Structure 1
Amino acid sequence: MYPNLLLKRASLTPNRIALSFGEQEWTFAQLNEEATLFAKRLHSKGVLPGMRVAILASSSAQLVIVLHSCMQLGCELVLLNERLTEEELSYQLQDSKAEFLLVDSFDKRNLLHVNKLSFTEVESVEGVSFNLETEWPKDRIVTIMYTSGTTGKPKGVRQSLDNHVMSATGSALNLGVQPNDCWLCTVPLFHISGFSILMRSVLYGMTVRLHTKFDAEKAVEEILGGIVTGMSLVAVMLERIIAVLEEKDLSFPSTFKSMLVGGGPVPLNYLERAIERNIPVLQTYGMTETASQTTTLSSEDAIRKLGSAGKPLFFADVRIDGEENIGEICIKGPHVTRGYVGASESKNPLVNGWLHTGDVGYIDDEGYLFVLDRRSDLIISGGENIYPAEVEQALIEHPAVRAAGVTGKRDDKWGQVPIAFVVLKENVTEDELKDFLKTQIASYKQPVDYYFVEHLPRNASNKLMRRELMKLIID
């Protein structure tokens, strides 16, 4: 058993700031009080302990209160991605068998559900008392998040209380915890990178400075203010922050301790520029099935171990499954999911206790993990393996390239060949890029076609969706 997390935190540090949003702040005592009141109101609308409740909402203080209130009620939270289509959302609602759907606005979607409630509607009713549990079972399901669905239909991943607690504990043992910690959250709360920040907040007694969405200018302003000590993002967001600092000729203060960067390796160009601006980049690797981080690379190793996602956190184990040094990354630990819901419920994610991630990588002789790519994104050309991330990183090294995406297209001779989609920050020709890449990567890895585009397809957490790249040509 674990204690009721918010209740325990509110009793330990009631006056410490839990949440900051816009001009408002909430202490842990206030957050607990408002979450409990909203839970009572949910209860009066028929939401009972143990029910599965779907939530579709933008990141806001109100959403934080709603998430905590549902946890206080003992509900399982199905966190829906705002950027999905109505068809995709309807599938997840049906697949998860959510008994209620909570939305921050009826105007946002025309989703149909027999028990659809808006936040405002719930706030307008009188609350009804319920049995507030002071202890929670470790195996209780807290959240259900759907994978991005790179192959087939997305799967609803069950994340238990133990998964979240052990993930947060492993991160704390790696990063350390200080009373003045304040994490800037600009990633969506419906994504594991965002929700894990809320879990770390109640476990550490850490302030969350919440933004509805990522804005590089505003993020830089927050960090320069000297209060924010950490932030989570992906490489493309990091580059935008660096660009703002370079434009203003500014550097981050020493009060800022950790820039966790996930979603793939950070290009050398970004790392070198980050160091110049005093940005402590910690590359990390995790996924929905692991309730956030599994490995993290310290900032002092960022250049020496370029491209590495670091070593496993304290409670995690990582191995490579394959006859060669390069193979599928497998993960074991108490932070790993034990299963799915809905159509995938019968699928066991573990094989002899190990999660087979579908990601390809290797571990070097010092124990550092290198993630090469998704197995599903792998391009096999004439029997040779081409990892799109490697080609993308080579392209980003060119000073005119802001971002790049690489995928494979069918070819009668080679089976598949790579093609590149490039976002520029200054003019450059296709021939100039081709000449540059000849000095960077082998000839068989060279893209046969280049497409210059305004932007690349990304999901809600700003990760590149390579499976969507071909649509840029078709459309």
Structure 2
Amino acid sequence: MYPNLLMKRASLTPDRVALRFNEQEWSFANLAEEAIDFAEKLHTKGIKKGMRLAILASSNPKLVVVLHGCMQLGCELVMLNERLSEEELNYQLADSAPNYLLVDDHTKRNLAFSDKYSFDEIENAERSFLDLEKEWPKERTITIMYTSGTTGRPKGVRQSLENHVMNATGSALNLGIHPNDCWLCTMPLFHISGFSILMRSVYYGMAINLHTKFDAEAAIQEIISGTVTRMSAVAVTLERMLTVLESKNLSFPNTFQSVLVGGGPVPLNYLERALERNIPVLQTYGMTETASQTTTLASEDAIRKLGSAGKPLFFADVRIDGDEKVGEICIKGPHVTKGYVGAAETINPLVDGWLHTGDIGYLDEEGYLFVVDRRSDLIISGGENIYPAEVEQALVKHPAVKEAGVAGRQDEKWGQVPVAFVVLKGEASEEALRTFMKEQLANYKQPVDYYFVDQLPRNGSNKLMRRELFNCIKNT
């Protein structure tokens, strides 16, 4: 059993700041009071402990209260990604089969689900007494999040209380906890990167500065003001901040401790540019099935192991499956999911206790993990393995290239050949890029075609959808 996280935190540090949004501020006591209020109103509406609630909303303080209120009632939360299409959302609703759908606005989507309430409808209900649980079973499902769907249909992943708590514990043992810590949360709360910040907040007694969406200028302003000490990002959002800082010749202050960057390998070019702007980048590796981080680079290794996703967190273990040095990354630990819901419920995610991730990587001689690519994105050309991420990293070294995506195309002679999709931030011709790339990579890794596009296809977590790259051609 674990303590009721929010109530325990509110009793320990009631006056400490829990949440900031624009000019507003909530202490942990304020947050607990509003969460209990919402939970009691849910109770009035007939929502009971153990029910499954799907939630579709934008990241704002009301959503934070709703999430904590639902947890106080003992409900399972299906976190819906508001960036998805109606077809995708309807699939997840049908697959997860929630008892009710909670939305911040009825007019937002036309979803095929009848049993739903808006946040306002709950708020306008009367309160009815709720006997709060002081302890929660560690195996209790807190959240259900759907995988990003980079390959096939997304699966609904169960994330237990133990998964969340042990992940937060491992992160704390790696990064440390400081009295003035404040996490800038620009990641959506429906995603594990955002939700895990909420869990760390009540576990650590840490403040969150919440943004509804990522804005490079706003994020930089908060960091330079000295208010926040850490943030989470993905490679594309890191690059956007770097571009703004470089255009204004600004650097981050020493009060800022680190930005954790996940969601896929980070180009070395981005990491080197970050060092020039005093941005401590800690590359991290994790997934929906591991309730966020599994490995994270320690601060003291940020420069020495540039490009690595670090060592496993204290309670995690990582091994490489395969005969070669580079193989599939496998994970074990108390932060790993025990299963799925819906169509994937019969699938056991573990093989002899290990989660096979589908990602390719290697461990160096000191045990540091380097993530190479997704196994499903591997291009095999003339019997040679080509990792799209390696080609993309070479492309973004060119000063005129902002982003790059690489995918394989069928070829009669070679089986597959790499094709590049490039977003420019300056002037560059295809000939110039071909000349540049010949200096970077072997001949067999050279893209056979280049397409210049306005943007790359990304999912709701800002991960590059390589299988959608060829649709960029059709849409131009």
Question: Partner of 2:223: helix, strand, or coil?
Answer: helix
Is 1:176 matched with 2:168? no
Q: Distance in 1 between matches of 2:30 and 2:90?
A: 35
- Structure 1 residue 273: deviation in Å? 1.6
Is 1:134 matched with 2:134? yes
Is contact 1:224-1:252 (8 Å) kept?
yes
User: How has the CA–CA distance of structure 1 residues 150 and 143 changed in structure 2, closer, same or farther, with 3 Å as cutoff?
Assistant: same
User: What are the residue-to-residue correspondences of 1:114-129 with 2, within 5 Å?
Assistant: 114-129=114-129
Aligned to 2:165: 165
Aligned to 1:210: 210
Aligned to 1:388: 388
Amino acid of the residue matched to residue 289 of structure 1?
Answer: E
Question: Partner of 2:310: helix, strand, or coil?
Answer: strand
Is contact 1:281-1:298 (8 Å) kept?
no
Q: Distance in 2 between matches of 1:239 and 1:154?
A: 27
Amino acid of the residue matched to residue 398 of structure 1?
Answer: H
User: What are the residue-to-residue correspondences of 1:192-207 with 2, within 5 Å?
Assistant: 192-207=192-207
Is 1:60 matched with 2:60? yes
Is 1:255 matched with 2:267? no
Is 1:87 matched with 2:52? no
Structure 1 unaligned spans of 5+: none
Aligned to 1:304: 304
Is contact 1:271-1:302 (8 Å) kept?
no
Aligned to 1:237: 237
Is 1:432 matched with 2:432? yes
Q: Distance in 1 between matches of 2:467 and 2:286?
A: 20
Q: Distance in 1 between matches of 2:152 and 2:271?
A: 35
Q: Distance in 2 between matches of 1:131 and 1:279?
A: 46
Amino acid of the residue matched to residue 53 of structure 2?
Answer: V
Q: Distance in 2 between matches of 1:267 and 1:24?
A: 37
Aligned to 2:474: 474
Q: Distance in 2 between matches of 1:116 and 1:205?
A: 33
More deviation in 444-453 or 265-274?
A: 265-274
- Structure 1 residue 423: deviation in Å? 0.6
**What TM-score do the two structures reach when normalised by structure 1?**
0.99
More deviation in 332-341 or 261-270?
A: 261-270
- Structure 1 residue 263: deviation in Å? 1.5
Aligned to 1:280: 280
Q: Distance in 2 between matches of 1:302 and 1:424?
A: 28
Q: Distance in 2 between matches of 1:324 and 1:184?
A: 40
Is contact 1:283-1:298 (8 Å) kept?
no
CA deviation string 1:131-187 (max 9, x = no partner): 210100000000000001222211000000000000000000000001111000001
Question: Partner of 1:33: helix, strand, or coil?
Answer: helix
User: What are the residue-to-residue correspondences of 1:362-441 with 2, within 5 Å?
Assistant: 362-441=362-441
Question: Partner of 1:309: helix, strand, or coil?
Answer: coil
- Structure 1 residue 435: deviation in Å? 0.9
Amino acid of the residue matched to residue 264 of structure 1?
Answer: G
Is contact 2:269-2:393 (8 Å) kept?
no
Is contact 1:295-1:312 (8 Å) kept?
yes
More deviation in 150-159 or 330-339?
A: 150-159
- Structure 1 residue 304: deviation in Å? 3.2
Q: Distance in 1 between matches of 2:459 and 2:150?
A: 12
CA deviation string 1:417-454 (max 9, x = no partner): 11011011101011111111111111111111101011
Question: Partner of 1:308: helix, strand, or coil?
Answer: coil
Q: Quote the sequence identity (%).
A: 75
Is contact 2:184-2:208 (8 Å) kept?
yes
Is contact 1:4-1:134 (8 Å) kept?
yes
Amino acid of the residue matched to residue 26 of structure 2?
Answer: W
User: How has the CA–CA distance of structure 1 residues 186 and 309 changed in structure 2, closer, same or farther, with 3 Å as cutoff?
Assistant: same
Q: Distance in 2 between matches of 1:375 and 1:435?
A: 29
Q: Distance in 2 between matches of 1:147 and 1:210?
A: 24
User: How has the CA–CA distance of structure 1 residues 285 and 300 changed in structure 2, closer, same or farther, with 3 Å as cutoff?
Assistant: same
| RMSD (Å), alpha carbons | 0.9
Structure 2 unaligned spans of 5+: none
- Structure 1 residue 275: deviation in Å? 1.2
The count of corresponding residues between Structure 1 and Structure 2 is: 475
Q: Distance in 1 between matches of 2:15 and 2:302?
A: 37
- Structure 1 residue 265: deviation in Å? 2.2
Is contact 1:19-1:26 (8 Å) kept?
yes
Q: Distance in 2 between matches of 1:42 and 1:112?
A: 22
More deviation in 237-246 or 133-142?
A: 237-246
Question: Partner of 1:190: helix, strand, or coil?
Answer: coil
Amino acid of the residue matched to residue 114 of structure 1?
Answer: S
Amino acid of the residue matched to residue 122 of structure 1?
Answer: I
Aligned to 1:318: 318
Is 1:21 matched with 2:6? no
Is contact 2:271-2:307 (8 Å) kept?
no
CA deviation string 1:220-268 (max 9, x = no partner): 0000111100000011111111111112211111111011011122222
Amino acid of the residue matched to residue 347 of structure 1?
Answer: I
Q: Distance in 2 between matches of 1:412 and 1:474?
A: 22
CA deviation string 1:340-395 (max 9, x = no partner): 00110010000000000000111111101111111111111111111110000000
Is 1:185 matched with 2:195? no
Is contact 1:268-1:303 (8 Å) kept?
no
Q: Distance in 1 between matches of 2:175 and 2:300?
A: 13
